[in-house]
Structure 1
Amino acid sequence: MKKTILALAVATVTLAGCMTYDPYTGEEKVSNATKGSVIGAIGGAAVGAATSSSDDRGKGALIGAASGAAVGGGIGYYMDRQEAKLRRQLEGTGVRVVRNGDQIDLIMPGNITFATDQSSIRPAFTDTLQSVALVLKEFDKTTIRIEGHTDSTGSDSYNQLLSERRASSVRDFLLNQGIEPSRTRAVGYGERYPVASNETAAGREQNRRVELTLVPMQQ
């Protein structure tokens, strides 16, 4: 088992050398595929060792590690590639790309997506959404959750309906670009989930937004 542990350690160090470039910060970082591979390798090794006979535990751990690394890294690598392409396409558009594990969030501020009190997408924003749709069509193994959010101005019921209409407008646009309907879900949250204070104009502007959450279908 000591040799097995040493082999896993070497593999982990090798995987940790896999880096990705973040065009927003200009920094290199360990890719999520690497993190997934390391976690998968450790988990696979444990399962492989536990399910093997005492004489074959070292071999079982290595086989399990290789299998776990492939599974753990596959999803991460797929989402790494999608994230990188989205960042390139959306740089300078005002849309934020946020990575959280194997989930990617696209945060679209209301000031660039919709006019005040309107649910029709601004004509100037359609090119950006078309760029998003192209990437989503290429990476078709992800589900797309479209969330509408508002500030607290106006009644709760009005804001709820407005957020639903805005989310539906973005979903309809993506469907018109060829995205499969079964991959998408639109939901409105009204003013329930602010990301900033509604006491200031700047805060209210941040709260008026649409978010796309991309999750791998394997999850």
Structure 2
Amino acid sequence: MVCFVLLCGKKILDIGRLMGGIVTMKVVHAVLMLVLSLTLTAGMQMEAVAGQGGAESITVTLDRRVMPVSIYHPGLFWTDSETVTVFDFAIRNYLGEPIDGFWIQTASARTEIPIGTVSEIRQTGWIRKNTKDIPRIAYVVPVHMVLVDGTEFDTLMNADFGTVEGMTDLGEIFVADPHTVTYLAFNRSARASLPESEPTETAAPVEGDADGDGVPDWKDRCPDTPAGVAVDEFGCPLDSDGDGVPDYQDRCPETPAGATVNSMGCWVIKGINFDYNKWDIKPQFVEVLEKNAGVMKENPGLKVEIQGHTDNIASDAFNQVLSEKRAESAKSFMVSQGIDPERVGTRGFGESQPIASNETPEGRSENRRIEIKILSR
């Protein structure tokens, strides 16, 4: 009934706005609040759900800018944002039934997070229409969710789960549009935080593991991990050296922090081009080499080999010599920056180790490169 009154109230306010005038809006507002007050005090509000989600109360932050008319509370109607504790609360769907959990979007469909496993939910963005055809998730809102076992993750949650109602220190509260709740926390005693009959491991929901990596879809941030690849707690491939290339693709797994890498995870000096049959360092490339010299300075135990590579233009013999001279040129610059020459070796590979097709200008450009191989740390 309260839901119906609030929905009607939105229409009443719309009419008031069309009629215009501050007095008209104040009258409409007063009438609406009177109807709501009579409805609630007449006992037409549904009974609270005792211990819903194992919580004695909930703490909510309300943002009235989202839908100002959707919240009934005697002390909050004109405030922009307010955090209150709600006792004797009930969280219901639009049929007036207590919800069992919160629907979130997974990689392939949706899953329900049981209400008893949720500790808090914080909105991280605005409500928007879901772009995927997933039943019961027409509108989503980005949230950061924390479970009672300490698990935290970011996800898209169904924005229209129903209503929130209960009692505060100032009186009754009713929220008809739950996406106006920007923060929701379940206040549980330590003993009631998890069902005693169930072990902690079963508290988090598990529904499907599409890529078979051992991390459920609802928690998996990398849902298409190849079979057999080692993953972290969020289902993403391990990246031991933190260079952005996962271990299973990384040909150079011990790259030092700050080094620029290619798609194979190997330390490369990117952005340096040489003129035809030249190996001198142009002034515009000094900054690139200075950065790499800085990595050497920050890792004084490193010994490296600078490796020169070319495309397939010209003969093998010509490219071999050219690659060696370019590697030596890069080493000379490193030494000029204070790097001990004993820490830097050189080697040329000519055109023998392409990393891209030599059939296109873009590919040849990528093959004309200098790589840095770590010899020891």
TM-score (ref. length: structure 2): 0.32
Q: Quote the residue 2:267 is aligned against.
A: 106
Structure 1 counterpart of 2:261, from 69, 93, 96: 96
1:176 and 1:169 mapped to 2: Cα distance?
11
- Deviation of residue 107 (structure 1)? 1.8
Q: Quote the residue 1:154 is aligned against.
A: 314
Question: What do residues 38-77 of structure 1 show as CA deviations (whole Å, max 9, x unaligned)?
Answer: xxxxxxxxxxxxxxxxxxxxxxxxxxxxxxxxxxxxxx9x
- Quote the sequence identity (%): 35
Shift in CA distance, 135/99, structure 1 to aligned 2, threshold 3 Å: farther
- Deviation of residue 30 (structure 1)? 5.1
Q: Quote the residue 1:4 is aligned against.
A: none
Q: Quote the residue 1:205 is aligned against.
A: 365
Shift in CA distance, 116/138, structure 1 to aligned 2, threshold 3 Å: same
- Which residue type is aligned with residue 32 of structure 1? S
Structure 1 contact 162–190 (Cα < 8 Å) conserved? yes
Q: Quote the residue 2:275 is aligned against.
A: 115
| Structure number, greater radius of gyration | 2
Structure 1 contact 146–184 (Cα < 8 Å) conserved? yes
1:122 and 1:29 mapped to 2: Cα distance?
39
Extract unaligned runs of 5+ from structure 2. Answer: 1-235, 243-252
Q: Quote the residue 1:56 is aligned against.
A: none
1:98 and 1:198 mapped to 2: Cα distance?
17
* 3-state secondary structure, aligned to 1:112: coil
Structure 1 contact 151–198 (Cα < 8 Å) conserved? yes
- Deviation of residue 181 (structure 1)? 1.4
1:124 aligns with 2:252: no
Extract unaligned runs of 5+ from structure 1. Answer: 1-27, 35-75, 87-94
Q: How many residue pairs end up in the alignment?
A: 132
1:167 aligns with 2:327: yes
Alignment RMSD (CA, Å): 2.7
Q: Quote the residue 2:342 is aligned against.
A: 182
2:241 and 2:339 mapped to 1: Cα distance?
25
Structure 2 contact 273–368 (Cα < 8 Å) conserved? no
1:33 and 1:190 mapped to 2: Cα distance?
28
Between structures 1 and 2, the one with greater strand share: 2
- Deviation of residue 135 (structure 1)? 2.0
- Deviation of residue 142 (structure 1)? 1.2
Structure 2 counterpart of 1:32, from 240, 244, 248: 240
TM-score (ref. length: structure 1): 0.53
Higher relative contact order (Cα pairs below 8 Å, separated by 6+ residues) = 1
- Deviation of residue 97 (structure 1)? 5.4
2:263 and 2:368 mapped to 1: Cα distance?
17
Shift in CA distance, 177/194, structure 1 to aligned 2, threshold 3 Å: same
Structure 2 contact 269–288 (Cα < 8 Å) conserved? no
Structure 2 counterpart of 1:135, from 289, 295, 300: 295
- Which residue type is aligned with residue 203 of structure 1? G
Shift in CA distance, 120/216, structure 1 to aligned 2, threshold 3 Å: same
1:199 and 1:98 mapped to 2: Cα distance?
19
Shift in CA distance, 97/155, structure 1 to aligned 2, threshold 3 Å: closer
Question: What do residues 68-90 of structure 1 show as CA deviations (whole Å, max 9, x unaligned)?
Answer: xxxxxxxx9xx67x32x33xxxx
- Deviation of residue 192 (structure 1)? 0.7
- Which residue type is aligned with residue 175 of structure 1? V
Between structures 1 and 2, the one with greater helix share: 1
2:324 and 2:304 mapped to 1: Cα distance?
15
